[in-house]
């Protein structure tokens, strides 16, 4: 972690050109750095990004700017030069661009900064000579970058784009359309080599979240000379981060992990989105927002309180069992790119509405997602008909919607009894891949390859050996063992179709038409599902219950199916009949009707 008393600011390229006295700034690349190494693609990408921003800037608010990544520096002992700890590649590319356009730069009354190397020939940068590109690796990369910039500028065919580019790049209006560095100036006492190692050798980047943390702690230190406020913010920050690193909380909110190791960054992205920022597509939007906010007359404490309010509301959703399941479903259905917007809207609703009204509004959102109808404009009878119609016509061909429907069935089941404290494991559900599984095997889809046939029969054999003492079963066991015995001659080995037919007949699945309807479908993790392939109900039941006993997550309703909890009268526990299927479908319909009807949002 970098020190929290560093200077952190947004500085336009124009401000980076000069030092505090207005003289051309001087930057030193220290000996521990390897020199300039950007390739053609990286140089072009920076130019394209800046140019795309400039081209679209006329349609953007006056305060929008293009934000470059952090430039980490430390003031040298002479008090005038800056040692570049991180950001050398970007700074050098900007330098080369300005040198390419130095005549236009002079017209604007500007001078370019200078760059020196502690252990290399620095004169080369002051007068680029392409003939010297093979003298060393540094000259080679600088020359390649020079040629890339030259070609990129020439490809635009006239000089007007150069003028427009330099106008924005060197704009000295701090709130205008320009390009800014995130200026991170280390404390003079901080060891720059340790920082460089952390940012480069250790491959731990200075994240946007860490930059925001530095902003808050620096401003808090200015607001409170006693030091209590920055200590409190630092402590509360760590508590929020720790809470969000609880996967049960994180995967309730998000469908995937993030690249940033600081999960608290989600809260800052939400704060930025709720303030109406972040939609312009610029880099470092969150940092830019808080940098401007904390530079104003407002102190850090009320701004930090707003951040805490967002977190505390989300944490309250997680702790409230009803909100946990309904909000969790809504966020699971949300595409990743829409996640922030959805959470921001839910936060706004929760602050505007009372708890009961908010809960009703959530069920209305779920109804709109699943049925495309307004829950408040439909009667109980109409709602029941819509749910029944959906459940009776949906089938295996529409797996995405089926997955959502079965997930909702699980969540609604958990909420049926207010005395229950069981919670759905979103972290397990989102970190694993889930299939729509046939409860009763689809007999027209039998294993074809020798390996698949062998695996399927091994599952059946294991079940029969441990669960049956009948004479007929013993004969079936012997046939399976003979087939699986690699030493048995092929002419004495039973035909797979014959053995397969006997197994299906034994479990009463041979004469039943295969069903791809909801009444024969449930949720199951892909590993378990693909592990037992198209096994009969009894084998599937045995494997699934063993998983449940050993702590492998099995959704409640999937477990209930294989325990036949939905069947009003249980006959043979190892055979899934049409009678069981009908009662299972009825249970899904009744549970979903109750879920929406009990919310109080249905039209009376």
DSSP 8-state symbol, 514: P
The answer to whether the beta carbons of residues 518 and 491 sit under 8 Å apart is no
pLDDT at 98: 93
Q: Residue 439: is it exposed, middle or buried by C-beta count within 10 angstroms (0-12/13-18/19+)?
A: buried
pLDDT at 327: 97
From 53, 10, 18, 52, select the one nearest 177 (Cα to Cα). Answer: 53
Instruction: Calculate the dihedral angle through the C-alpha atoms of 47, 48, 54, 56, rounding to the nearest 10 degrees.
Output: -170
Over the range 45-70, which residues count as b (16 or more CB within 10 Å of their CB) and which as e? ebbeebbebbeebeeeeeebbbbbbb
Write the DSSP string, 333-365: HS-GGGHHHHHHHHHHHHHHS-HHHHHHHHHHH
pLDDT at 194: 80
Which residues have C-beta within 8 Å of that of residue 281, sequence separation ≥ 6?
Answer: none
Least confident span in 188-192, 250-254, 376-380: 188-192
DSSP 8-state symbol, 270: H
| Bridge partners (DSSP) listed for residue 70 | 182
Helix (H) / strand (E) element for 142: namely helix 137-154
474-517 per-position pLDDT tens digit? 777 777 777 777 655 555 456 776 776 676 666 665 555 667 89
The rounded distance, in Å, linking the Cα atoms of 448 and 377 is 52
Least confident span in 132-141, 153-162, 182-191: 153-162
The answer to whether the beta carbons of residues 508 and 575 sit under 8 Å apart is yes
DSSP 8-state symbol, 395: B
The answer to whether the beta carbons of residues 29 and 125 sit under 8 Å apart is no
CA-atom Rg of the chain in angstroms: 33
The answer to whether the beta carbons of residues 299 and 223 sit under 8 Å apart is yes
From 225, 224, 175, 182, select the one nearest 206 (Cα to Cα). Answer: 182
143-182 per-position pLDDT tens digit? 999 999 999 998 876 677 888 888 888 887 666 678 888 8
pLDDT of 202 above 90: no
pLDDT at 530: 62
The rounded distance, in Å, linking the Cα atoms of 113 and 73 is 15
Which residues have C-beta within 8 Å of that of residue 551, sequence separation ≥ 6?
Answer: none
The answer to whether the beta carbons of residues 241 and 254 sit under 8 Å apart is no
pLDDT at 280: 46
The predicted model gives 329-334 an average pLDDT of 94
The rounded distance, in Å, linking the Cα atoms of 502 and 470 is 15
pLDDT at 210: 84
Q: What is the chain's mean pLDDT, rounded? A: 83
The answer to whether the beta carbons of residues 504 and 423 sit under 8 Å apart is no
From 561, 555, 487, 556, select the one nearest 521 (Cα to Cα). Answer: 561
Maximum CA extent, the chain: 101
The rounded distance, in Å, linking the Cα atoms of 467 and 428 is 31
pLDDT of 537 above 50: yes
Helix (H) / strand (E) element for 85: namely strand 82-86
Q: Residue 251: is it exposed, middle or buried by C-beta count within 10 angstroms (0-12/13-18/19+)?
A: buried
The count of residues in the chain is 604
The rounded distance, in Å, linking the Cα atoms of 460 and 543 is 11
Least confident span in 69-78, 271-280, 379-388, 473-482: 473-482
The answer to whether the beta carbons of residues 51 and 215 sit under 8 Å apart is no
DSSP 8-state symbol, 158: S
According to the per-residue pLDDT averaged within each range, which of 2-11, 20-29, 529-538 is highest?
20-29
Instruction: Provide the total of helices (H) and of strands (E) in the chain, helices listed first.
Output: 27, 8
546-568 per-position pLDDT tens digit? 888 888 888 999 999 888 888 88
The rounded distance, in Å, linking the Cα atoms of 549 and 33 is 56
Let me know the angle formed at the C-alpha of 381 by 375 and 385, rounded to the nearest 5 degrees.
85
The rounded distance, in Å, linking the Cα atoms of 538 and 375 is 40
Per-residue 3-state assignment (H helix, E strand, C coil) for 28-47:
EECCCCCCCCCCHHHHHHHH
The answer to whether the beta carbons of residues 113 and 18 sit under 8 Å apart is yes
From 15, 31, 291, select the one nearest 173 (Cα to Cα). Answer: 15
The predicted model gives 428-435 an average pLDDT of 85
pLDDT band at 345 (very low <50, low <70, confident <90, very high): very high
pLDDT at 465: 67
Per-residue 3-state assignment (H helix, E strand, C coil) for 402-448:
HHHHHHHHHHHHHCCCCCCCCCCCHHHHHHCCEEEEECCCCCCCCCC
- Supply the angle between the helices 578-597 and 355-371 in degrees, to the nearest 10: 140
Half-sphere exposure (Cβ direction) of 122: Cα atoms closer than 13 Å: 12
pLDDT of 314 above 90: yes
């Amino acid at each position: 972690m970098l020190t929290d008393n560093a200077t952190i600011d947004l500085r336009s390229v124009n401000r980076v050109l000069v030092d505090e006295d207005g003289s051309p700034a001087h930057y030193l690349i220290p000996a521990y750095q390897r020199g300039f190494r950007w390739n053609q693609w990286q140089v072009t990408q920076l130019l394209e990004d800046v140019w795309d921003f400039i081209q679209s800037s006329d349609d953007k608010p006056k305060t929008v700017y293009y934000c470059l990544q952090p430039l980490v520096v430390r003031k040298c002992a002479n008090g005038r030069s800056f040692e570049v700890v991180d950001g050398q590649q970007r700074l050098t590319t900007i330098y080369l661009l300005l040198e390419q356009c130095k005549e236009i730069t002079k017209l604007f009354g500007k001078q370019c900064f200078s760059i020196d190397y502690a252990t290399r020939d620095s004169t080369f940068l002051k007068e680029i000579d392409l003939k010297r590109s093979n003298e060393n690796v540094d000259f080679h990369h600088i020359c390649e970058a020079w040629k890339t910039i030259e070609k990129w500028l020439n490809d635009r065919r006239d000089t007007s784009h150069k003028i427009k580019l330099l106008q924005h790049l060197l704009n000295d209006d701090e709130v205008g359309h320009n390009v800014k560095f995130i200026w991170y100036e280390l404390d003079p006492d901080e060891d720059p080599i340790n920082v460089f190692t952390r940012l480069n050798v250790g491959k731990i980047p200075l994240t946007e979240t860490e930059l925001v943390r530095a902003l808050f702690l620096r401003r808090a230190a200015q607001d409170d000379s006693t030091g209590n406020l920055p200590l409190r913010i630092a402590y509360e920050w760590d508590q929020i981060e720790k809470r969000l690193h609880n996967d049960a909380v994180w995967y309730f909110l998000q469908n995937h992990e993030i690249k940033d190791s600081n999960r608290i960054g989600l809260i800052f992205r939400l704060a930025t989105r709720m303030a109406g920022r972040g939609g312009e597509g610029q880099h470092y939007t969150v940092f830019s927002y808080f940098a401007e906010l904390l530079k104003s007359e407002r102190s850090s404490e009320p701004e930090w309180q707003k951040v805490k309010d967002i977190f505390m509301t989300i944490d309250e959703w997680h702790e409230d069992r009803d909100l946990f399941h309904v909000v969790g479903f809504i966020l699971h259905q949300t595409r990743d790119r829409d996640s922030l917007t959805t959470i921001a809207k839910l936060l706004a609703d929760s602050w505007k509405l009372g708890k009961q009204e908010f809960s009703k509004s959530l069920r209305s959102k779920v109804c709109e997602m699943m049925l495309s109808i307004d829950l408040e404009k439909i009667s109980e009878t109409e709602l029941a008909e819509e749910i029944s119609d959906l459940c009776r016509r949906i089938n295996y061909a529409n797996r995405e919607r089926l997955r959502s429907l079965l997930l909702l069935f699980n969540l609604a089941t958990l909420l049926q009894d207010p005395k229950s404290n069981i919670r759905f494991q979103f972290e397990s559900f989102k970190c694993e891949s889930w299939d729509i599984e046939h409860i009763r095997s689809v007999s027209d889809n039998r294993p074809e390859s020798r390996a698949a046939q062998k695996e399927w029969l091994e599952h059946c054999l294991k079940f029969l050996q441990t669960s049956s003492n009948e004479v007929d079963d013993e004969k079936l066991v012997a046939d399976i063992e003979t087939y699986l015995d690699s030493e048995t001659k092929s002419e004495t080995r039973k035909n797979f179709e014959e053995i397969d037919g006997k197994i299906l007949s034994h479990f009463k699945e041979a004469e039943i038409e295969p069903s791809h309807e909801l009444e024969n479908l449930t949720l199951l993790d892909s590993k378990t599902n693909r592990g037992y392939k198209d096994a009969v109900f009894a084998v599937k039941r045995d494997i699934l219950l063993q998983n449940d006993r050993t702590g492998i997550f099995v959704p409640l309703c999937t477990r209930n199916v294989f325990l036949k909890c939905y069947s009003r009268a249980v006959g043979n526990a190892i055979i899934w009949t049409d009678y069981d299927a009908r009662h299972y479908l009825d249970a899904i319909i009744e549970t979903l009707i109750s879920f929406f009807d009990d919310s109080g949002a249905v039209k009376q």
